[in-house]
């Protein structure tokens, strides 16, 4: 079988890799229905994250179970399943508190940009859909594996409530689906910060009421202007840079909530600034597993269509073009058909 390997900056190759097989009795092997490139894959792709030699890529997946280990009880071959980018037993205290992405047995998934995938801790990680979906539902279901789950966590961690004023910093797939999530949670005003026309229009499609194209201090000033100088109730930071984090904190009202779900790269917070900001901060790797049953249901029943973030669909063997298009911001998110 062939899968995507990252050799170094801007060097993705689709090449022979080992065929996955059951290693632990708690494993499942799934035949991928679709996979994709993640915004977080761009950090190592751009050489902004250290690597130890050639690295197998991909952590967003859904598909049909081909085989399960002898210890797997809750899922079985033939089922269409979705799992998070972080595996979880779903039984340890962290999982029971709803933080499955910090499961004591967590592994971060990789090797998903391939036609077949081994998923550890299958019982706790995988959630079956009500049946095998029609092909046109697959892109939206795939988003639940990470970007929708992460956008949903961003909205939840920022305490989005009915009637709230929400700001979303970041117009990648996660930010756009943070807009969709805030809309689902009843936000009244959703301000998307984006300077990219195609992304602005998708943000409006997902429920954004306002667009702010300024960023940094200018962006903060615009948000304060729009909120009578007070700031927003909930701000979702979906980028992971120093500028976006400070923009999020400064655009939040006193007592408001900031969530941060962009993997931080070089972010440092000043204690004194944090002290006087008077905001709640909550974020981290999204516990996607907590939300999967609800998100699958919303997609399955046609209430949301998050698959619209995939504006590029390629055969899996053209995975390198998927990375290039996202790196050059020609595409929001690239779906890969095995």
Q: How far apart are CA 69 and CA 121, in angstroms?
A: 10
CB closer to Zn ion out of 91 and 242: 91
Two tokens at 310?
A: 């995939």
Closest to Zn ion by CB, 146 or 156: 146
Q: Is 103 in the site for Zn ion (CB under 5 A)?
A: yes
Of 27, 89, 171, 233, the one binding Zn ion by CB under 5 A: 89
For 67, counting Cβ atoms within 10 Å of its Cβ (0-12 exposed, 13-18 middle, 19+ buried), the class is middle
Would you say the C-alpha torsion 56, 60, 64, 65 has a positive or negative sign? positive
Q: Which lies closer to Zn ion via its Cβ, residue 227 or residue 323? A: 323
172: tokens are: 């990648």
Contact 102, 287 (CB under 8 A): yes
Which stretch in 42-50, 95-103, 110-118, 220-228 sits in contact with Zn ion by CB under 5 A? 95-103
Which segment (6-14, 30-38, 165-173, 318-326) binds Zn ion by CB under 5 A?
Answer: 30-38
Residue closer to Zn ion by CB (options 125, 250) is 125
Asked if 146 touches Zn ion (CB under 5 A), the answer is yes
- Bridge-based pairing of strands 11-16 and 2-8 is antiparallel
For Zn ion, the closer of residues 28 and 103 by Cβ is 103
Among the listed residues 297, 289, 301, 309, the one whose alpha carbon sits nearest the alpha carbon of residue 34: 309
| Least CB distance to Zn ion at residue 101 (A) | 10
Angle between helices 242-250 and 216-226 (to 10 degrees): 20
For Zn ion, the binding residue among 17, 22, 42, 92 (CB under 5 A) is 92
CB of 90 to Zn ion, least distance (A): 6
Residue 103 or 292: the one with the smaller Cβ distance to Zn ion is: 103
- Report how far residue 225's alpha carbon sits from residue 97's, in angstroms, rounded to the nearest whole number: 38
Site for Zn ion in 266-295 (CB under 5 A): none
Closest approach of Zn ion to the CB of residue 93, in Å: 8
Please work out the total of residues on this chain that contact Zn ion, with binding judged by CB under 5 A.
Answer: 7
Q: Is 123 in the site for Zn ion (CB under 5 A)?
A: no
Token pair 């008077």 is found at 278
Measure Cα distances from 67 to 24, 60, 113, 276 in Å: 12, 19, 19, 54
Residues near 134 by beta carbon (within 8 Å), at least 6 away in sequence: none
Options 5, 32, 68, 95; binder of Zn ion; rule CB under 5 A: 95
User: What character string, x for contact with Zn ion (CB under 5 A) and - otherwise, covers 33-72?
Assistant: -----x----------------------------------
Please give the residue ranges that form the binding site for Zn ion (CB under 5 A): 38, 88-89, 92, 95, 103, 146
């Amino acid at each position: 079988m062939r899968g995507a390997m990252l050799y170094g900056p801007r060097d993705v190759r689709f090449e022979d890799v080992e065929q996955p097989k059951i290693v632990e009795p708690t494993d499942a092997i799934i035949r991928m229905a679709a996979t994709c490139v993640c915004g977080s894959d761009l950090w190592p792709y751009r050489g902004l994250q250290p690597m130890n030699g050639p690295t197998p890529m991909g952590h967003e997946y859904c598909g049909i179970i081909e085989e399960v280990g002898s210890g797997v009880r809750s899922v079985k071959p033939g089922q269409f399943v979705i799992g998070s980018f972080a595996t979880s037993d779903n039984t340890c205290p962290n999982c029971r508190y709803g933080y499955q992405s910090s499961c004591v047995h967590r592994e971060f998934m990789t090797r998903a940009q391939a036609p077949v995938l081994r998923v550890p801790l299958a019982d706790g990680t995988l959630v079956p859909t009500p049946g095998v979906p029609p092909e046109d539902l697959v892109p939206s279901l795939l988003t639940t594996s990470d970007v929708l789950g992460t956008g949903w966590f961003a909205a939840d961690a920022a305490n989005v409530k009915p009637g709230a004023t929400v700001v979303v910093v970041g117009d990648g797939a996660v930010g756009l689906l943070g807009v969709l999530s805030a809309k689902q949670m009843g936000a009244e005003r959703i301000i998307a910060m984006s300077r990219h026309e195609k992304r602005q229009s998708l943000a409006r499609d997902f429920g954004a009421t306002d667009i702010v194209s300024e960023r940094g201090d200018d962006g903060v000033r615009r948000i304060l202007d729009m909120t009578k100088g007070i700031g927003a109730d909930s701000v979702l930071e979906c980028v992971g840079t120093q500028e976006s984090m400070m923009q999020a904190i400064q655009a939040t009202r006193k007592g408001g909530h900031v969530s941060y779900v962009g993997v931080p790269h070089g972010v440092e917070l000043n204690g004194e600034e944090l002290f006087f900001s008077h905001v709640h901060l909550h974020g981290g790797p999204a516990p996607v597993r907590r939300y999967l049953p609800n998100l699958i249901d919303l997609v399955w029943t046609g209430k949301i269509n998050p698959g619209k973030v995939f504006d590029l669909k390629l055969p899996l063997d053209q995975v390198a073009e998927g990375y290039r298009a996202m790196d050059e911001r020609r595409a929001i998110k690239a779906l890969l058909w095995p």
